[in-house]
Amino acid sequence: MDLHRLTIHEAADLLRRRETSSQELTRACLDRIAAVDPAVRAFVTVCADGALQQAGEADRRITNGEATPLTGIPAAIKDNMCTRGVRTTCSSRMLEGFVPPYNATVVQSLSDAGMVMLGKANMDEFAMGSSTEHSAFFPSRNPWDRARVPGGSSGGSCVAVAADEAIYSLGSDTGGSIRQPAGFCSVVGFKPTYGRVSRFGLVAFASSLDQIGPITKDVTDCALVMNAICGYDPGDSTSLNQPTPDYTRSLVPDLKGLRLGVPQEYAVAGMQPGVESAFKAAVRRLAELGAEIEWGAFLPHTRYALAAYYIIAPSEASANLARYDGVKYGFSAPEASSMWDALEKTKQAGFGAEVKRRIMLGTYALSAGYYDAYYLKAQKVRTLIRQEFDRAFARFDALITPTSPTVPFKIGEKMDDPVQMYLSDICTLPVNIAGIPAVSVPAGFVDGLPVGLQAIGKPLGEETLLRIAFAYEQSTDWHKRKTPL
């Protein structure tokens, strides 16, 4: 049996029946990392010794009857979530040697549940990118075709799961950074409602848009991880003080009684014909499962979402990244003639080109004389987009769209054209602007390359999305396909 290929629930069953141990499972994943990670580069840091130590503790918990569904299950954590004693780099030279003294709330929650942390996953620097090519260290590669990108910014987290290096992982989603790479890598990626999962200990990119979520091999695993990471956290001022349901109860295999809208605004120019065909086939399958489907125009301001996002997100990034001054922590320019010279040289050498681009965009949008014309107007558009989603959800239980208008593109193909790179998130970023939940599930292949299906829900509508994702998944075999690695 290839233990590294198991899902969470399959591995948990074996652990509970004592048919394997967490240490055996962890060694299998570490062996898999050693075998395939040089080809796909999912990890920035591998914590082999720490993982085996955690696995030993997990085996003791299982023996003592203290296990949770995640006890002893090896995971990867995106490298923008603080991990006590393990470096957290955000795939940036600025934080290359930074070792946090505390855990992010989600990391602590998983640790309390018995997680085994295999290591920290590669990403676009400070989560700014759609391909994981903007990592300061190395690009990650798509395990379905290593000449292509895995998506981003949670590319390493999705590669680790798709390549069976980790049983599951955590990513962060600011404009599609969980769902787009999940679609590109044929795994399940979930972006919860803003505030549903604590952001404490997540290194900030755009604070009003960032959200942490699970990346898993199937929808059942997604529900199990959601159970562990959702909940109120007084350490996060944006955390929602709402009861958390048992998400596994949403996993029913039919969609009878659900009304699903298919907004024509997501049929964007440039959508590849193969992606469109796969999407239409997926919608037909949802109808066969009992859902009532309506195609139409429900979200007219969606066409402005990309422009609004690329004013709001860089503006917040320019404020959040101002803290990296070379004084308190992180990289510091070694040779400087004055404090101001040190500050300038630190940012010049510590940040990559894409981060600098977004800082400059945001600083310009917030500057005197331009604030009203850009940032304030973008916030007004954001309000309109939220209102349109509210009206749509008065009619529908969820909305169905492609996850991305294209299959994974080739490494280097869009690096010289930032606008084309930004368009990769055209189907995902309106969700972050509105602060609502969405999930991407595997929905087929075009010439051997993955296609994702996205379901978008109303605020705190995670249960409905998991029901849709589970019913669709159980009626197809896309999630069972394995990469050629």
pLDDT of residue 402: 97
pLDDT of residue 277: 97
Given a cut of 90, is residue 235 above it in pLDDT?
Answer: yes
Tokens found for residue 257: 């009684």
Residue 295: strand, helix, or coil? strand
- Tell me, what DSSP letter sits at residue 372? I
What are the tens digits of pLDDT across the range 47-60? Answer: 999 999 999 999 99
pLDDT of residue 327: 87
Amino acid at 385: I
Q: Which of 21, 78, 154, 458 is catalytic?
A: 78
Average pLDDT, stretch 113-131?
A: 98
Given a cut of 80, is residue 419 above it in pLDDT?
Answer: no
pLDDT of residue 134: 97
Average pLDDT, stretch 412-417?
A: 89
Q: Which of 117-121, 156-160, 365-369 has the lowest mean pLDDT?
A: 365-369
Average pLDDT, stretch 407-412?
A: 97
pLDDT of residue 423: 79
pLDDT of residue 49: 98
What are the tens digits of pLDDT across the range 71-114? Answer: 999 999 999 999 999 999 999 999 999 999 999 999 999 999 99
Q: % helix / strand / coil in the chain, to the nearest 5?
A: 45, 15, 40
pLDDT of residue 193: 98
Q: Which of 91, 109, 153, 250 is catalytic?
A: 153
**What proportion of the chain, given as a percentage, has pLDDT over 90?**
92
How far, in Å, CA of 61 to CA of 413, rounded? 48
pLDDT of residue 416: 83
- Mean pLDDT over the full length of the chain: 96
Does residue 356 carry a catalytic annotation?
A: no
Amino acid at 232: Y
- What's the start-to-end Cα distance of the chain, in Å? 17
How far, in Å, CA of 251 to CA of 318, rounded? 41
For the chain, give the number of residues: 485
Do the beta carbons of residue 363 and residue 318 sit within 8 Å?
yes
What are the tens digits of pLDDT across the range 262-307? Answer: 999 998 878 999 999 999 999 999 999 999 999 998 999 999 999 9
Does residue 337 carry a catalytic annotation?
A: no
Does residue 177 carry a catalytic annotation?
A: yes
Calculate the CA dihedral of residues 287, 293, 297, 303 and round it to 10 degrees: -40
Do the beta carbons of residue 168 and residue 29 sit within 8 Å?
no
Residue 15: strand, helix, or coil? helix
pLDDT of residue 378: 97
What are the tens digits of pLDDT across the range 132-187? Answer: 999 999 999 999 999 999 999 999 999 999 999 999 999 999 999 999 999 999 99
How far, in Å, CA of 79 to CA of 94, rounded? 13
pLDDT of residue 270: 80
Give counts: helices (H), strands (E), the chain.
15, 11
Average pLDDT, stretch 251-258?
A: 96
Domain ranges of the chain: 3-258+397-480
Do the beta carbons of residue 141 and residue 37 sit within 8 Å?
no
Q: What letters, b where the CB count within 10 A reaches 16 and e where it falls short, cover 31-65?
A: ebbeebbeebbbbbbbbeebbeebbeebbebbeee
Q: Which of 91, 177, 186, 239 is catalytic?
A: 177
How far, in Å, CA of 82 to CA of 170, rounded? 12
Provide the CATH topology of domain 3-258+397-480: Amidase signature (AS) enzymes (3.90.1300)
Rg (CA), the chain: 21
pLDDT of residue 421: 82
Do the beta carbons of residue 328 and residue 346 sit within 8 Å?
no
pLDDT of residue 420: 80
pLDDT-based confidence at 484, cuts 50/70/90? very high
pLDDT of residue 329: 86
What are the tens digits of pLDDT across the range 318-346? Answer: 999 999 988 888 999 888 888 889 889 99
What are the φ/ψ torsions at residue 441 (nearest 5 degrees)?
Answer: -125, 150
Beta strands in 342-431 (DSSP E): 398-402
